[in-house]
Structure 1
Amino acid sequence: MRVDFASLFEVVATCLGREGMADAEAGVLFLKAMHALVRFDDVVIFAYREKERPIDLFSTFGLEDHEIFVGLYQAGPFLLDPFYHAARAGRAGVFRMRELAPDRFFSSEYYRTYYTQTKLAEEVGFFVPCPDGVTVVLSLMRRERSGVFPPGEFAVLDDAVPFVLAFVARTWPDLSLRFDALARGTRRRRHEPANAADRVWRKLNLTDREASIVELVLQGYSSESIGLTLDISTGTVKVHRRNVYRKLGISSQMQLLSIYLSNLQS
């Protein structure tokens, strides 16, 4: 695909001449800039901070897809998303999903149960760390009919990283204030954990170690990778997994995911 320089420079000129754009206006400009560079089907832009519910800044989905990619995702599955964990780790730049996914992600129950509903061939994300622990992720998605991003187009996106970093810094400089406002608007009982995942583990009476292992299992990490991540032996990981399954009265990862998601939404 040839770069549409006229459209790209039009976006740059608009950005230079505007401050304080609304989310929708900024999203449309980003969409237009990316369409000048590569081919894709959809865009979604999320802001993340710690384990808080991500803020949906912009998306191009129809009603049904919006429920899957945004509504359902914000309800809890985001906690298992490789993009979310890369955002929390402070990654910066542009990455393919398969670069960030754990070793068993594409065979995990999360992938089979939730991610396959998206019918994506590939998702590529620009990761932009912002002040106060916020990261904005601007995702470009290609459906199965479109195939993955060719190497040449991905290289163009990599060249666009400085523009995207500057665009986000100019457009969304104070997202932490929006997270703070949302937190104040959510009433919690005293001593209740502040995030959804921790509330689930407390409700299910799991220890901190069991919760850490189960989270990694659900994200798609093998027992070997979990052991390396937590600096414990693979055998110890398997013992904890068996204890969790026995405690919850289950025998499969499918049941574990079902319990996790149902408790997130209760």
Structure 2
Amino acid sequence: MEGLLRELPLHHGLAQLFEHLGGARFWRALVLQLRQLAPFDNALAVCFTPRQAPLILDESSFDAAPAASPMPLYCQGLYLLDPFYQLACEPFTDGLHHLPDIAPDQFQQSTYYLDYHRKEVGVDEVQFLLRLAPEQVLSLSLGSSSPYQAEQIGRLRIVQGWVLAAMKRHWQLQEAPQASPPRNGLSDQLAQMLEQFGRGCLSERESEIARLTLRGLSSKAIAQQLAISPETVKVHRRNMYNKLGVANHSELFNRFICQLSQNG
């Protein structure tokens, strides 16, 4: 009987969730339901479409004094550095995905993570990802100021079946939101932004290395992806930094942010 009583709030929450399918309060009801299973500090529902800016569906924060939303800057171009957006642009399995399982090898040392993700999302993140169409992915992000424990991840994986079903049904019932105008592909957008603040001075190889550096790949990982040696990567990176007038990854990221602000 005691176990049944502990589960009572969960069943009440499910009833409320079903009532809000297709309505304005659906995402909030879903987030509150999931928060009974694992603590997190913020949630974001979004529709990812390759070559388009993300479509923000709902945003929740549980901070005592929430700050201004970081979404305008994210949608202007920071999403291009988001490992979950990058995953949504590739084949993946519907379900719960954990940041450490999908991020590049040095993502947590990247300036994007240190200066943006850790501050605005948290030190850890999971996302329920559901492919709605060949180029349309529905996502629910749960950001946490502390690392998720294995037990918490396990609880969320247990419920992913009905979570994904509810997300899909809600999308079908609601009036379809309007997406942003199409843009170029992920690599092209990053290359163009780099070329703009580099004033066209970077070679094609240097632009590739700048793009992969911003995404959080190590010299070794970049070398493997481009089929060149790590020493060659370091030479190209040094030349790229010199041409852009920056000294390190942090200054490169700041230049990227400035370019996004100017474009916005």
Q: TM-score range by the shorter chain?
A: 0.7 to 0.9
Report the TM-score, using the length of structure 2 for normalisation. 0.80
1:1-266 matches, within 5 Å, as 5-13=7-15, 20-22=22-24, 25-61=25-61, 64-68=66-70, 70-91=71-92, 92-118=94-120, 120-143=122-145, 147-173=146-172, 178-179=178-179, 182-183=180-181, 196-203=189-196, 204=198, 205=200, 206-266=202-262
> Tell me, which stretches of 5 or more residues in structure 1 are unaligned?
none
Matches of 1:175 and 1:94, distance apart in 2:
25
Q: Which is further off, 215-224 or 113-122?
A: 113-122
SS of structure 1 residue aligned to 2:228: coil
Go from structure 1 to structure 2 and tell me whether the alpha carbon gap of 1:101 and 1:265 turns closer, same or farther (over 3 Å shift): same
- 1:79 to partner: Cα distance: 1.5
Two-structure CA RMSD over aligned residues (Å): 3.2
Segments of 4+ moved more than 4 angstroms = 10-19, 173-177, 193-196
Matches of 1:16 and 1:64, distance apart in 2:
28
- 1:226 to partner: Cα distance: 0.9
8 Å Cα contact 1:213-1:241 kept in structure 2: yes
Go from structure 1 to structure 2 and tell me whether the alpha carbon gap of 1:252 and 1:148 turns closer, same or farther (over 3 Å shift): closer
- Does 1 or 2 have the higher relative contact order (CA < 8 Å, sep 6+)? 2
Q: Which is further off, 113-122 or 147-156?
A: 113-122
Q: Deviations over 1:118-141 (max 9, x none)?
A: 372422221222213122221222
Go from structure 1 to structure 2 and tell me whether the alpha carbon gap of 1:223 and 1:194 turns closer, same or farther (over 3 Å shift): closer
8 Å Cα contact 2:21-2:170 kept in structure 1: yes
SS of structure 2 residue aligned to 1:67: coil
Go from structure 1 to structure 2 and tell me whether the alpha carbon gap of 1:225 and 1:152 turns closer, same or farther (over 3 Å shift): same
SS of structure 1 residue aligned to 2:67: helix
Q: Which is further off, 111-120 or 153-162?
A: 111-120
